[in-house]
Structure 1
Amino acid sequence: MTYNEAISYLYDRLPVFHRVGVSAYKPGLTNVLALCEALGNPQHQFRSIHVAGTNGKGSTSHLLASIYQLAGYRVGLYTSPHLKSFTERIRLGGLPIPEADVAQFVRNHRPLIETIEPSFFEVTVAMAFDFFAREQVDLAIVEVGLGGRLDSTNIITPMASVITNIGWDHVEVLGDTLPKIAAEKSGIIKPNVPVVIGESQSETSPVFTAIAEANQSPIVFADQQWHLADSGLANGVRKVLCYHLHTDEQPVTVDLPLTGLYQLANLKTVLATVEVIQSAYPVHQKALVDGCRLVTAQTGLKGRFQWLQQRPIVIADTAHNKPGIEALLATVQTIPHRALRLVIGFVRDKDVLAVLALLPTNAIYYFCQADSPRALPVDELVSLAGSVGLAGVGYADVNLALAAASQEADPDDFILITGSTYVVAEVNSL
């Protein structure tokens, strides 16, 4: 079985969330536990940091991986979804899992897969944990897929449980109030394992505190530990001064290539997490600073306010829900430009109208759809956008829309590609 055959098998046989949405979601740990039991329970053979949250968990995971790599540790990284290649989901030392390992895993365990009938995500988690155990990683950074309590990754007992923030997303699965969503994501909290919460919120902080206390888990709110002063953009990085609120230490200066303003909250979460497990996994300041500065080179992170061109500015960002789009637009407003041109598409199972209502009516729109069964058809998107006063032209795919925006743009314009991870993934120049 070749790599391409293995990937085709996984896509064709198993329910895949990024293709069909919630119908592919199999809540509960029964399948992944059965898979891992047959593999010798690899989830118990490495140490980890578990990262959940509505937004920012991917960036947070990549930053942590980069820092611990620069500190000299052998680091595994599990994230989802991927942008270009399935192998991006499972990394060792920043490098994607070899295609041969993927093919071998599927070939060796095909009878097991066909007996258990797991989802695509469940198989991927088992593959990642098996890979990390065989490669004897010092530390694995494991990003939650959806929620927390019933997510397939939630069979590890980590060194720290991290929850970046809580916002409105996947309400049909996680709950229709922020406290309900927080409770689901708090399911990654384990007895006596320290908890890092990225952002204090009046509706959700009591939920986290109560669950942490019930588990006798020390809890830290990152925004109550660190103050970050943004010194602005220069030479493609955002320079940030990081002040610890409870020590007299000199501030740490970080050059962050992830230039979205929303990354400041993620950076606080990262700093607090490193501090919480410092005694078990020491990190010197140089590794911390270099890990942040080199995160994209070290871990292959893409699609987070990623600069594709300078004149006109072309930025790709995977923001896809209301809090993500709000944070993205806040950064856009800080960058001087003439006209804003949005290349945008969505998946159909998001609250698209709520997101469209956030968008500026004076921007120029190039609507598109991803090559996915979940994609909102572009004709429907044009109609929905029109209902909230956004006018634009529809295109069959993102690259046609981007070509049209580039052709019509002035050198001082700003072209923003966003709305869906799957739209960004299909940008040829990414």
Structure 2
Amino acid sequence: MNYQETIDYLYSRLPVFQNIGARAFKPGLHTTLQLCKHLGDPQEKYKTIHVGGTNGKGSTSHMLASVLQEAGYKVGLYTSPHLKSFTERIKINGTSIDEDFICEFTAVNKSYIERLSPSFFEVTVAMAFAYFEKCNVDIAVIEVGMGGRLDSTNIITPVLSVITNVSYDHTQFLGDTLAKIAFEKAGIIKPNVPAVISERQDAEITDVFDQASTERSSGIRYGSDLFEMVHVHHDQGKLSLDVRDKATGKTVYENVKLDLAGIYQLKNIGGVLAAIDSLRMIGLEISKEAVYNGLSAVVANTGLKGRWQKLRESPQVFCDTAHNYAGVSYTMQQFNSIAANQKRFVIGFVADKDISTILKLFPADGKYYFCQPSNMRALNASDLQQEALKAGLEGSVYPDVNIALEAAILESNPDDAIYVGGSTFVVADLDQL
């Protein structure tokens, strides 16, 4: 099979969560353990960092990978889902997995895969681990798919576990309280392995993390307890800030330029810096220069897209992959702070998500362009229009995001601003991305 035939086979043969949702969700580690055992347990051949959380785990993973690259390490990076190409999920120093390896891996293991009947995600996790071994990486940053405790990636024993935060998402799988969700996230905290939590949140969440850390003798540090971001502003498209040590009051990083310009990255940066300190404690050499350079060039070093990305000027167009209440609330705060004559919103969602509370975050005086992602889980744009009307949002229906965005741009004045989002898959469909 050539590359396209191989990808078609994987998508058609294996249950894919991004397409069919709950029917593809296979909680538990047994299948991934069996598959990796068949491959010789490649995940044990190099250091790993495990990154979980509700929001920000993708950005955090890419920031850590970028800094480690600048520090001179050969860095594997596994994330999901992809936006444009399957190969985005598996990278080494920002270069996507070789298509020939995907074909070879699938062909060699095809009969075993068919006997084992894993999910698409379980196969991609194993593929990533095998690729990182083949390419002899120094360290790999592994992003959790969903939850943590029962996520396929949780077969690793990392040198560091990082959890960004906890909020409501995938409640049908992870639980209907923040404490239950935190319990699932805390599942990546391993015995005697240091853990970093980016944000100290309410007691019901931190109590779960603290208890897990105590039971597993992991040691736990909260980024928001250690660092304070001050003098925050935007400078030539980058998020500029100073980092202050909360214990001493001293500035430890001055004039940091972060190319991930979303203001919500302030929630992630403390965790990233705490993680870097923890990595130094276990012997990794990471200079301050590597931190500055890595944070200023995350997109260039790793190819990350869709995080508060500006697509054009006059009118300004921004897209963001935020897709749950907490994530969208941060992006709306930032979008609302932009000076514009008229705010316009190109939005679409998946059908298996309660969007009633999310829609309340959007302003009633906005102009709306409802669309749907090219995804089997897509919420029909006409159904979205009716749901939005209940929240006081009015607009027209379009078959896809590109037609909707074209209409929004045509109806805009140069001093208007357009937001594109609601779902990762809506952003992924953008031709301009």
| Alignment TM-score, normalising by the size of structure 1 | 0.99
Q: Which residue of 1 aligns with 2:259?
A: 257
Alignment equivalent of 2:354, drawn from 351, 356, 369? 351
Q: Which residue of 2 aligns with 1:270?
A: 272
1:123-152 Cα deviation digits (max 9, x unpaired): 000000001111111110000000000000
Alignment partner of 1:175 is 2:178: no
Alignment partner of 1:319 is 2:341: no
TM-align CA RMSD: 0.9
Q: Which residue of 1 aligns with 2:237?
A: 236
Q: Which residue of 1 aligns with 2:128?
A: 128
- Structure 1 counterpart of 2:392, one-letter code: G
Matched residue of 1:360: which SS? coil
Q: Which residue of 2 aligns with 1:301?
A: 304
- Structure 1 counterpart of 2:361, one-letter code: L
Matched residue of 1:262: which SS? helix
Matches for 1:189-200 after TM superposition, within 5 Å: 189-200=189-200
Alignment partner of 1:29 is 2:20: no
Matched residue of 1:251: which SS? strand
Alignment length (residue pairs): 430
> C-alpha separation between the residues in 2 aligned to 1:426 and 1:250?
42
- Structure 2 counterpart of 1:174, one-letter code: L
Q: CA deviation at 1:57?
A: 0.2
Q: CA deviation at 1:249?
A: 4.9
Q: Which residue of 2 aligns with 1:394?
A: 397
- Structure 2 counterpart of 1:7, one-letter code: I
Matched residue of 2:155: which SS? coil
Q: Which residue of 2 aligns with 1:374?
A: 377
Between 63-72 and 306-315, report the one with greater CA deviation.
Answer: 306-315
> C-alpha separation between the residues in 2 aligned to 1:188 and 1:271?
19
Q: Which residue of 2 aligns with 1:417?
A: 420
> C-alpha separation between the residues in 1 aligned to 2:320 and 2:341?
20
1:67-111 Cα deviation digits (max 9, x unpaired): 000000000000000000000000001110011111111111101
Q: Which residue of 2 aligns with 1:333?
A: 336
Q: Which residue of 2 aligns with 1:91?
A: 91
- Structure 2 counterpart of 1:258, one-letter code: L
Matched residue of 2:209: which SS? helix
Conserved? CA contact 2:242–2:251, under 8 Å: no
Q: Which residue of 1 aligns with 2:291?
A: 288
> C-alpha separation between the residues in 1 aligned to 2:140 and 2:308?
25
> C-alpha separation between the residues in 1 aligned to 2:414 and 2:231?
27
> C-alpha separation between the residues in 2 aligned to 1:258 and 1:152?
28
> C-alpha separation between the residues in 1 aligned to 2:22 and 2:214?
32
- Structure 2 counterpart of 1:278, one-letter code: R
Between 170-179 and 223-232, report the one with greater CA deviation.
Answer: 223-232
Q: CA deviation at 1:32?
A: 0.5
- Structure 2 counterpart of 1:325, one-letter code: V
> C-alpha separation between the residues in 2 aligned to 1:231 and 1:183?
33
> C-alpha separation between the residues in 2 aligned to 1:369 and 1:157?
39
1:315-367 Cα deviation digits (max 9, x unpaired): 11001000010011111122211211000000011111111111110111000
Q: Which residue of 2 aligns with 1:71?
A: 71
Q: CA deviation at 1:46?
A: 1.1
Matched residue of 2:211: which SS? helix
Q: CA deviation at 1:230?
A: 4.2
Between 82-91 and 352-361, report the one with greater CA deviation.
Answer: 352-361
In structure 1, stretches of 5+ residues that fail to align are: none
What stretches of structure 1 move > 3 A for 4+ residues in a row? Answer: 247-251
Conserved? CA contact 2:84–2:428, under 8 Å: yes
- Structure 2 counterpart of 1:398, one-letter code: V
Conserved? CA contact 1:230–1:238, under 8 Å: no
Q: CA deviation at 1:233?
A: 1.1
1:196-251 Cα deviation digits (max 9, x unpaired): 01111122001100010000011001100000014311211110111122346533
- Structure 1 counterpart of 2:424, one-letter code: T
Between 231-240 and 189-198, report the one with greater CA deviation.
Answer: 231-240
Alignment partner of 1:159 is 2:162: no
Cα 1:247/1:131, change in 2 over 3 Å: farther
Matched residue of 1:154: which SS? helix
Q: Which residue of 1 aligns with 2:44?
A: 44
Q: Which residue of 2 aligns with 1:429?
A: 432
Matched residue of 1:329: which SS? helix
Q: CA deviation at 1:297?
A: 0.4
Conserved? CA contact 2:66–2:298, under 8 Å: yes
> C-alpha separation between the residues in 2 aligned to 1:229 and 1:96?
35
